[in-house]
Amino acid sequence: MSIAELKAVANAIVAKSKGVLAADESSPTIKKRFDSIKAESTEENRRRYRELLFTTDEIERYIGGVILYDETLRQSTRDGVPFARLLSSRGIAPGIKVDKGAKALALYPGDKVAEGLDGLRERLAEYKQLGAKFAKWRAVIEIDEKNIPTAFGIRANAHALARYAALCQEVDIVPIVEPEVLMDGAHGIERCEAVTAQVLEAVFAELDAHCVVFDGMLLKPNMVIAGKKCPQQAGVAQVAEATMRCLTRYVPAAVPGIVFLSGGQSAEDATDHLNAMNAMGAHPWQVSFSYGRALQAPVLAAWKGQESNVAAAQKALLKRCRLNGLARDGKYTRAMEAG
Ligand code: 5MM
Protein backbone atom coordinates (compact mmCIF):
# COMPACT_ATOMS: atom_id res chain seq x y z
CA MET A 1 0.00 0.00 0.00
CA SER A 2 1.27 3.49 -0.86
CA ILE A 3 -0.25 5.90 1.66
CA ALA A 4 1.25 8.81 -0.30
CA GLU A 5 -0.58 7.73 -3.47
CA LEU A 6 -3.87 7.18 -1.65
CA LYS A 7 -3.62 10.58 0.02
CA ALA A 8 -2.76 12.34 -3.24
CA VAL A 9 -5.80 10.88 -5.05
CA ALA A 10 -8.17 11.54 -2.11
CA ASN A 11 -6.97 15.14 -1.73
CA ALA A 12 -7.21 15.82 -5.48
CA ILE A 13 -10.84 14.64 -5.57
CA VAL A 14 -11.80 17.17 -2.87
CA ALA A 15 -9.47 19.97 -3.96
CA LYS A 16 -10.79 23.54 -3.66
CA SER A 17 -14.24 23.99 -5.29
CA LYS A 18 -14.34 20.32 -6.32
CA GLY A 19 -16.53 17.33 -5.57
CA VAL A 20 -17.73 14.10 -7.16
CA LEU A 21 -20.27 13.35 -9.88
CA ALA A 22 -22.00 10.08 -8.95
CA ALA A 23 -22.84 8.57 -12.34
CA ASP A 24 -22.76 4.97 -11.13
CA GLU A 25 -26.43 4.10 -11.51
CA SER A 26 -26.78 0.34 -11.91
CA SER A 27 -28.80 -0.85 -14.94
CA PRO A 28 -32.13 -1.06 -13.01
CA THR A 29 -31.63 2.45 -11.55
CA ILE A 30 -30.67 4.14 -14.83
CA LYS A 31 -33.71 2.45 -16.42
CA LYS A 32 -35.90 4.16 -13.81
CA ARG A 33 -34.24 7.52 -14.56
CA PHE A 34 -34.66 7.02 -18.34
CA ASP A 35 -38.29 5.91 -17.88
CA SER A 36 -38.97 9.27 -16.22
CA ILE A 37 -37.94 11.08 -19.44
CA LYS A 38 -39.41 8.40 -21.75
CA ALA A 39 -36.01 7.36 -23.10
CA GLU A 40 -35.23 3.71 -23.75
CA SER A 41 -32.49 2.21 -21.56
CA THR A 42 -30.42 0.51 -24.27
CA GLU A 43 -26.65 0.08 -23.88
CA GLU A 44 -26.08 2.69 -26.62
CA ASN A 45 -28.43 5.24 -25.01
CA ARG A 46 -26.67 4.79 -21.66
CA ARG A 47 -23.35 5.33 -23.45
CA ARG A 48 -24.64 8.45 -25.23
CA TYR A 49 -25.92 9.87 -21.96
CA ARG A 50 -22.67 9.24 -20.12
CA GLU A 51 -20.70 10.76 -23.03
CA LEU A 52 -22.86 13.88 -22.73
CA LEU A 53 -21.96 14.11 -19.03
CA PHE A 54 -18.24 13.45 -19.37
CA THR A 55 -17.64 15.76 -22.35
CA THR A 56 -19.31 18.79 -20.78
CA ASP A 57 -16.93 21.75 -21.09
CA GLU A 58 -15.35 23.11 -17.91
CA ILE A 59 -16.73 20.53 -15.44
CA GLU A 60 -13.13 19.76 -14.44
CA ARG A 61 -13.17 23.10 -12.55
CA TYR A 62 -15.74 21.61 -10.13
CA ILE A 63 -15.52 17.84 -10.50
CA GLY A 64 -12.52 15.96 -9.08
CA GLY A 65 -13.91 12.46 -9.57
CA VAL A 66 -16.68 10.58 -11.37
CA ILE A 67 -18.10 7.30 -10.08
CA LEU A 68 -18.82 4.85 -12.89
CA TYR A 69 -20.77 1.61 -13.11
CA ASP A 70 -19.05 -1.55 -14.41
CA GLU A 71 -20.64 -1.20 -17.87
CA THR A 72 -19.62 2.47 -18.16
CA LEU A 73 -16.00 1.84 -17.19
CA ARG A 74 -15.81 -0.46 -20.22
CA GLN A 75 -17.43 2.06 -22.61
CA SER A 76 -15.89 4.75 -24.84
CA THR A 77 -16.84 7.97 -26.60
CA ARG A 78 -18.24 7.69 -30.12
CA ASP A 79 -14.66 8.42 -31.29
CA GLY A 80 -13.38 5.40 -29.38
CA VAL A 81 -11.75 7.07 -26.36
CA PRO A 82 -12.39 4.98 -23.23
CA PHE A 83 -14.35 7.04 -20.69
CA ALA A 84 -11.73 6.42 -17.98
CA ARG A 85 -8.99 7.81 -20.26
CA LEU A 86 -11.13 10.80 -21.27
CA LEU A 87 -11.80 11.70 -17.64
CA SER A 88 -8.16 11.25 -16.58
CA SER A 89 -7.00 13.46 -19.47
CA ARG A 90 -9.28 16.20 -18.06
CA GLY A 91 -7.77 15.83 -14.56
CA ILE A 92 -10.86 14.00 -13.24
CA ALA A 93 -10.28 10.74 -11.36
CA PRO A 94 -12.37 7.81 -12.65
CA GLY A 95 -13.94 5.69 -9.91
CA ILE A 96 -16.00 2.51 -9.81
CA LYS A 97 -19.00 1.33 -7.82
CA VAL A 98 -18.16 -2.13 -6.48
CA ASP A 99 -20.99 -3.13 -4.14
CA LYS A 100 -23.62 -5.44 -5.61
CA GLY A 101 -26.56 -3.80 -3.90
CA ALA A 102 -28.41 -4.17 -0.62
CA LYS A 103 -30.05 -7.52 0.11
CA ALA A 104 -32.18 -8.74 3.05
CA LEU A 105 -29.96 -9.58 6.05
CA ALA A 106 -30.66 -13.23 6.87
CA LEU A 107 -32.55 -13.79 10.15
CA TYR A 108 -32.89 -10.02 10.70
CA PRO A 109 -36.24 -9.16 9.11
CA GLY A 110 -36.23 -5.54 7.94
CA ASP A 111 -32.45 -5.04 7.96
CA LYS A 112 -30.45 -5.00 4.74
CA VAL A 113 -26.77 -5.57 4.06
CA ALA A 114 -24.77 -4.62 0.97
CA GLU A 115 -23.24 -7.60 -0.83
CA GLY A 116 -20.26 -7.90 -3.18
CA LEU A 117 -17.22 -8.97 -1.15
CA ASP A 118 -16.79 -12.36 -2.86
CA GLY A 119 -14.23 -11.97 -5.65
CA LEU A 120 -13.74 -8.28 -4.86
CA ARG A 121 -9.92 -8.53 -4.74
CA GLU A 122 -9.90 -9.86 -8.31
CA ARG A 123 -12.46 -7.30 -9.52
CA LEU A 124 -10.41 -4.45 -8.03
CA ALA A 125 -7.29 -5.70 -9.82
CA GLU A 126 -9.18 -5.58 -13.13
CA TYR A 127 -10.74 -2.17 -12.41
CA LYS A 128 -7.29 -0.79 -11.67
CA GLN A 129 -6.09 -2.03 -15.08
CA LEU A 130 -9.10 -0.27 -16.62
CA GLY A 131 -8.05 3.01 -14.99
CA ALA A 132 -10.04 3.26 -11.74
CA LYS A 133 -8.34 5.41 -9.11
CA PHE A 134 -11.03 5.10 -6.48
CA ALA A 135 -14.01 2.91 -5.64
CA LYS A 136 -17.32 3.24 -3.87
CA TRP A 137 -19.42 0.89 -1.71
CA ARG A 138 -22.86 1.96 -0.57
CA ALA A 139 -24.48 0.49 2.54
CA VAL A 140 -28.18 1.27 2.81
CA ILE A 141 -29.64 1.81 6.29
CA GLU A 142 -33.41 2.16 6.50
CA ILE A 143 -35.20 3.72 9.45
CA ASP A 144 -38.65 2.40 10.34
CA GLU A 145 -41.13 3.31 13.05
CA LYS A 146 -40.06 0.44 15.32
CA ASN A 147 -36.62 -1.14 15.72
CA ILE A 148 -34.97 -0.87 12.29
CA PRO A 149 -32.05 -0.54 11.94
CA THR A 150 -30.97 -3.04 14.60
CA ALA A 151 -27.55 -2.71 16.21
CA PHE A 152 -26.54 -5.92 14.43
CA GLY A 153 -27.73 -4.62 11.05
CA ILE A 154 -25.53 -1.57 11.52
CA ARG A 155 -22.58 -3.73 12.60
CA ALA A 156 -22.95 -6.07 9.60
CA ASN A 157 -22.89 -3.13 7.18
CA ALA A 158 -19.98 -1.46 8.98
CA HIS A 159 -18.00 -4.69 8.82
CA ALA A 160 -18.62 -5.09 5.08
CA LEU A 161 -17.67 -1.46 4.42
CA ALA A 162 -14.40 -1.95 6.29
CA ARG A 163 -13.53 -5.19 4.48
CA TYR A 164 -14.17 -3.43 1.18
CA ALA A 165 -12.08 -0.39 2.18
CA ALA A 166 -9.15 -2.56 3.26
CA LEU A 167 -9.22 -4.47 -0.05
CA CYS A 168 -9.17 -1.16 -1.94
CA GLN A 169 -6.23 0.29 -0.01
CA GLU A 170 -4.29 -2.96 -0.49
CA VAL A 171 -4.08 -2.06 -4.22
CA ASP A 172 -3.85 1.73 -3.82
CA ILE A 173 -7.45 2.40 -4.79
CA VAL A 174 -9.03 5.11 -2.62
CA PRO A 175 -12.19 3.76 -0.98
CA ILE A 176 -15.22 6.00 -0.74
CA VAL A 177 -17.10 4.62 2.24
CA GLU A 178 -20.83 5.31 1.87
CA PRO A 179 -23.12 4.46 4.76
CA GLU A 180 -26.44 5.96 3.64
CA VAL A 181 -29.15 6.44 6.25
CA LEU A 182 -32.17 6.80 3.98
CA MET A 183 -34.42 9.84 4.15
CA ASP A 184 -37.49 7.73 3.26
CA GLY A 185 -39.98 7.46 6.09
CA ALA A 186 -41.69 9.74 8.59
CA HIS A 187 -38.94 10.02 11.24
CA GLY A 188 -37.86 13.41 12.53
CA ILE A 189 -34.40 14.95 12.26
CA GLU A 190 -33.54 13.85 15.82
CA ARG A 191 -34.00 10.16 14.92
CA CYS A 192 -31.88 10.64 11.80
CA GLU A 193 -29.12 12.19 13.92
CA ALA A 194 -29.24 9.35 16.49
CA VAL A 195 -29.09 6.63 13.80
CA THR A 196 -26.38 8.44 11.78
CA ALA A 197 -24.31 8.75 14.97
CA GLN A 198 -24.64 5.01 15.69
CA VAL A 199 -23.74 4.17 12.10
CA LEU A 200 -20.67 6.43 11.95
CA GLU A 201 -19.41 5.20 15.30
CA ALA A 202 -19.69 1.58 14.13
CA VAL A 203 -18.15 2.30 10.72
CA PHE A 204 -15.04 4.02 12.09
CA ALA A 205 -14.57 1.33 14.76
CA GLU A 206 -14.59 -1.33 12.01
CA LEU A 207 -12.37 0.69 9.66
CA ASP A 208 -9.86 1.07 12.48
CA ALA A 209 -10.01 -2.64 13.36
CA HIS A 210 -9.35 -3.47 9.67
CA CYS A 211 -6.26 -1.14 9.64
CA VAL A 212 -7.80 1.17 7.06
CA VAL A 213 -5.73 4.36 6.79
CA PHE A 214 -8.11 7.26 7.38
CA ASP A 215 -5.90 9.70 5.40
CA GLY A 216 -6.38 7.58 2.27
CA MET A 217 -10.18 7.33 2.16
CA LEU A 218 -13.24 9.55 1.70
CA LEU A 219 -16.55 9.34 3.58
CA LYS A 220 -19.86 9.67 1.70
CA PRO A 221 -22.56 10.08 4.33
CA ASN A 222 -26.14 11.30 4.32
CA MET A 223 -26.92 14.70 5.73
CA VAL A 224 -28.85 14.74 9.01
CA ILE A 225 -32.32 15.52 7.78
CA ALA A 226 -35.96 14.65 8.58
CA GLY A 227 -37.61 11.78 6.68
CA LYS A 228 -39.47 12.83 3.52
CA LYS A 229 -42.86 12.00 5.05
CA CYS A 230 -42.18 13.82 8.34
CA PRO A 231 -44.62 16.72 8.75
CA GLN A 232 -41.91 18.81 10.45
CA GLN A 233 -39.12 19.50 7.96
CA ALA A 234 -36.01 21.15 9.40
CA GLY A 235 -34.73 24.43 7.96
CA VAL A 236 -31.39 24.79 6.18
CA ALA A 237 -29.51 26.06 9.26
CA GLN A 238 -30.85 23.24 11.44
CA VAL A 239 -29.80 20.58 8.92
CA ALA A 240 -26.32 22.10 8.62
CA GLU A 241 -25.83 22.36 12.39
CA ALA A 242 -27.12 18.85 13.15
CA THR A 243 -25.02 17.33 10.36
CA MET A 244 -21.80 19.06 11.39
CA ARG A 245 -22.41 18.28 15.08
CA CYS A 246 -22.85 14.60 14.28
CA LEU A 247 -19.88 14.34 11.92
CA THR A 248 -17.56 16.30 14.22
CA ARG A 249 -18.27 13.79 16.99
CA TYR A 250 -17.68 10.65 14.95
CA VAL A 251 -15.44 11.32 11.92
CA PRO A 252 -11.69 11.43 12.58
CA ALA A 253 -9.94 14.62 11.46
CA ALA A 254 -7.46 12.52 9.43
CA VAL A 255 -10.16 11.80 6.81
CA PRO A 256 -9.40 14.25 3.95
CA GLY A 257 -12.98 14.81 2.84
CA ILE A 258 -16.66 14.32 3.45
CA VAL A 259 -18.53 14.00 0.13
CA PHE A 260 -22.24 14.05 0.85
CA LEU A 261 -24.86 12.10 -1.08
CA SER A 262 -28.07 13.98 -1.92
CA GLY A 263 -30.43 11.11 -1.08
CA GLY A 264 -33.55 12.47 -2.78
CA GLN A 265 -33.25 16.15 -1.83
CA SER A 266 -33.99 18.62 -4.61
CA ALA A 267 -30.93 19.90 -6.47
CA GLU A 268 -31.38 23.35 -4.86
CA ASP A 269 -31.77 22.01 -1.30
CA ALA A 270 -28.67 19.82 -1.64
CA THR A 271 -26.64 22.85 -2.75
CA ASP A 272 -28.12 25.07 -0.04
CA HIS A 273 -27.32 22.58 2.73
CA LEU A 274 -23.75 22.13 1.49
CA ASN A 275 -23.34 25.88 1.35
CA ALA A 276 -24.64 26.35 4.90
CA MET A 277 -22.17 23.80 6.27
CA ASN A 278 -19.25 25.51 4.56
CA ALA A 279 -20.46 28.95 5.62
CA MET A 280 -20.17 27.82 9.27
CA GLY A 281 -16.37 28.14 9.01
CA ALA A 282 -13.47 25.71 8.76
CA HIS A 283 -14.02 22.01 9.49
CA PRO A 284 -11.41 19.29 10.09
CA TRP A 285 -12.09 17.82 6.63
CA GLN A 286 -13.10 19.23 3.24
CA VAL A 287 -16.91 19.39 3.12
CA SER A 288 -17.97 18.52 -0.40
CA PHE A 289 -20.48 16.64 -2.56
CA SER A 290 -20.87 13.34 -4.36
CA TYR A 291 -24.30 13.87 -5.78
CA GLY A 292 -26.15 11.63 -8.21
CA ARG A 293 -29.70 12.90 -8.52
CA ALA A 294 -28.92 16.44 -7.30
CA LEU A 295 -26.47 16.92 -10.19
CA GLN A 296 -28.25 14.90 -12.84
CA ALA A 297 -32.00 15.51 -12.40
CA PRO A 298 -31.92 18.83 -14.32
CA VAL A 299 -29.65 17.26 -16.96
CA LEU A 300 -32.04 14.39 -17.65
CA ALA A 301 -34.99 16.80 -17.74
CA ALA A 302 -33.21 18.93 -20.37
CA TRP A 303 -31.88 16.00 -22.43
CA LYS A 304 -35.05 13.85 -22.76
CA GLY A 305 -33.00 11.36 -24.78
CA GLN A 306 -32.76 13.74 -27.78
CA GLU A 307 -29.51 14.57 -29.58
CA SER A 308 -30.84 18.08 -30.26
CA ASN A 309 -30.98 18.72 -26.49
CA VAL A 310 -27.35 17.80 -25.69
CA ALA A 311 -26.16 21.41 -25.47
CA ALA A 312 -29.01 22.36 -23.11
CA ALA A 313 -28.36 19.29 -20.96
CA GLN A 314 -24.64 20.09 -20.72
CA LYS A 315 -25.49 23.66 -19.76
CA ALA A 316 -27.70 22.30 -16.95
CA LEU A 317 -24.88 20.06 -15.71
CA LEU A 318 -22.30 22.84 -15.73
CA LYS A 319 -24.69 25.09 -13.83
CA ARG A 320 -25.20 22.54 -11.02
CA CYS A 321 -21.45 21.84 -10.89
CA ARG A 322 -20.66 25.57 -10.69
CA LEU A 323 -23.24 26.24 -7.97
CA ASN A 324 -22.01 23.32 -5.88
CA GLY A 325 -18.45 24.57 -6.43
CA LEU A 326 -19.55 27.89 -4.92
CA ALA A 327 -21.28 26.04 -2.06
CA ARG A 328 -17.93 24.40 -1.30
CA ASP A 329 -16.80 27.89 -0.26
CA GLY A 330 -20.07 29.02 1.36
CA LYS A 331 -20.58 31.49 -1.50
CA TYR A 332 -23.85 30.20 -2.97
CA THR A 333 -27.21 31.97 -2.69
CA ARG A 334 -30.61 30.82 -3.90
CA ALA A 335 -30.79 33.94 -6.08
CA MET A 336 -28.03 32.40 -8.23
CA GLU A 337 -30.48 29.71 -9.37
CA ALA A 338 -32.04 32.26 -11.71
CA GLY A 339 -28.76 32.82 -13.60
C1 5MM B 1 -26.06 7.33 -8.71
O2 5MM B 1 -26.67 6.31 -7.93
C3 5MM B 1 -25.77 5.42 -7.28
C4 5MM B 1 -26.03 3.99 -7.60
O5 5MM B 1 -27.30 3.64 -7.15
P6 5MM B 1 -27.88 2.16 -7.41
O7 5MM B 1 -26.96 1.16 -6.81
O8 5MM B 1 -29.21 2.24 -6.69
O9 5MM B 1 -28.05 1.98 -8.86
C10 5MM B 1 -25.79 5.68 -5.78
O11 5MM B 1 -24.94 4.83 -5.06
C12 5MM B 1 -25.33 7.08 -5.56
O13 5MM B 1 -23.96 7.17 -5.80
C14 5MM B 1 -25.59 7.55 -4.15
O15 5MM B 1 -26.80 7.05 -3.62
C16 5MM B 1 -25.70 9.07 -4.13
O17 5MM B 1 -26.64 9.46 -5.08
P18 5MM B 1 -27.73 10.54 -4.69
O19 5MM B 1 -28.70 10.53 -5.83
O20 5MM B 1 -28.33 10.10 -3.38
O21 5MM B 1 -26.96 11.85 -4.55
Residues near 314 by beta carbon (within 8 Å), at least 6 away in sequence:
52, 55, 56, 57, 299
Report yes or no: 279 and 249 within 8 Å, Cβ to Cβ: no
Question: Going by CA atoms, what residue is nearest to atom 13 of ligand 1?
Answer: 22
What pLDDT does residue 261 have?
A: 98
pLDDT band, very low/low/confident/very high, at 95 (cuts 50, 70, 90): very high
Is 25's C-beta closer than 6 angstroms to any atom of ligand 1? yes
What pLDDT does residue 62 have?
A: 98
* Centre of ligand 1 from the C-alpha of residue 180, in Å: 10
Give just the sign of the alpha carbon dihedral 289, 293, 296, 299.
negative
Residue percentage of the chain with pLDDT more than 90: 99
What pLDDT does residue 339 have?
A: 74
pLDDT at residue 55 is higher than 90: yes
Is 100's C-beta closer than 6 angstroms to any atom of ligand 1? no
Q: To the nearest whole number, what is the mean pLDDT of the chain?
A: 98
pLDDT band, very low/low/confident/very high, at 146 (cuts 50, 70, 90): confident
What pLDDT does residue 216 have?
A: 98
Is 269's C-beta closer than 6 angstroms to any atom of ligand 1? no
Is 263's C-beta closer than 6 angstroms to any atom of ligand 1? yes
Catalytic entry in 97, 112, 136, 220: 220
Quote the CA–CA distance of 74 and 85 in Å, as a whole number.
11
* Centre of ligand 1 from the C-alpha of residue 287, in Å: 19
Question: Going by CA atoms, what residue is nearest to atom 5 of ligand 1?
Answer: 25
Inter-helix orientation angle 293-303/267-279, to 10°: 150
End-to-end CA gap in the chain: 46
* Centre of ligand 1 from the C-alpha of residue 138, in Å: 8
Report yes or no: 82 and 88 within 8 Å, Cβ to Cβ: no
Quote the CA–CA distance of 260 and 239 in Å, as a whole number.
13
Is 262's C-beta closer than 6 angstroms to any atom of ligand 1? yes
Report yes or no: 173 and 135 within 8 Å, Cβ to Cβ: yes
44 is a catalytic site residue: no
Question: Which ligand 1 atom minimizes the distance to the CA of 291?
Answer: 21
- Alpha carbon 170 to its chain centroid, in Å, reads 22
pLDDT band, very low/low/confident/very high, at 124 (cuts 50, 70, 90): very high
**Structure pTM?**
0.98
| Average of per-residue pLDDT across 209-223 | 98
Residues near 33 by beta carbon (within 8 Å), at least 6 away in sequence:
25, 296, 300
142 is a catalytic site residue: no
Is 95's C-beta closer than 6 angstroms to any atom of ligand 1? no
pLDDT at residue 291 is higher than 80: yes
pLDDT band, very low/low/confident/very high, at 148 (cuts 50, 70, 90): very high
pLDDT at residue 255 is higher than 90: yes
Question: Going by CA atoms, what residue is nearest to atom 20 of ligand 1?
Answer: 263
